[in-house]
Structure 1
Amino acid sequence: MEILIKPILTEKMTAQGEKLNRYGFIVDPRANKLQIKAAVEAMYGVVVAEVNTCNYDGKYKSRYTKAGMLEGRQNRYKKAIVTLGGEDKIDFYSNI
């Protein structure tokens, strides 16, 4: 199972990375905090102090349009906020 799917690169997460040493990732919904911690430490070579997770279910939604009522589901994903210990940093833009 691929634990880390992609990093979250938004203005809010970039600011948290600079000030609070926190980084966000979209992860596999079946992954637990210990697996996420091990994957981040192995991939980026940093020490992880804390992992916070949040699940987003695939909610069923419907809306009215000109063509009638459209129904569908949102994608299901899990978000992890990783706090690094010490002076460790992750540079997502280094390999561009």
Structure 2
Amino acid sequence: MSRDPRDIIKRPVITERTTEMMASKRYVFEVDIRANKTSIKQAIEEIFKVKVANVNTLRVPGKPKRQGRHAGYTSEWKKAFVQLSEDSKELEFFESV
């Protein structure tokens, strides 16, 4: 089953903490919850044309939320921390900032 790499990598997670991590070529992405480390590595290398050294993943549980008397949970999602190799170029998410 060959999936498009853009189905595996949903979006970059850009916060203050992840912006500081970008200086050391470490990036954070929201990925498909069924994706494994190998498929995440292959997708990043194919989309951005870089060399990935390491991938760590984390499942983020859904939080309880309520709207009036209706209660529920937000969706669970998966986060991937991607470390690029020393000789690969950096990724540009926002050049104008």
The 8 Å contact of residues 65 and 74 in structure 2, kept in 1 or not, is answered as no
If each structure's strand is expressed as a fraction of its own residues, which one has the higher value?
A: 1
Superposition deviation, residue 92 in structure 1:
0.9
Secondary structure at the counterpart of residue 55 of structure 1: strand
* Structure 2: gaps spanning 5 or more residues: none
Q: TM-score, normalised by structure 1?
A: 0.81
* Structure 1: gaps spanning 5 or more residues: none
What RMSD over aligned residues (CA atoms) do the two structures have, in Å?
2.1
2:83 aligns with 83
Larger Rg: 1
Superposition deviation, residue 11 in structure 1:
1.4
1:54 aligns with 58
Opposite residue 52 of structure 2, the aligned amino acid is V
Residues 44 and 73 (structure 1 numbering): CA distance in 2 closer, same or farther, change over 3 Å?
Answer: same
Q: Are residues 1:93 and 2:94 paired? A: yes
Superposition deviation, residue 30 in structure 1:
0.3
Q: What is the aligned-residue identity percentage?
A: 38
1:15 aligns with 20
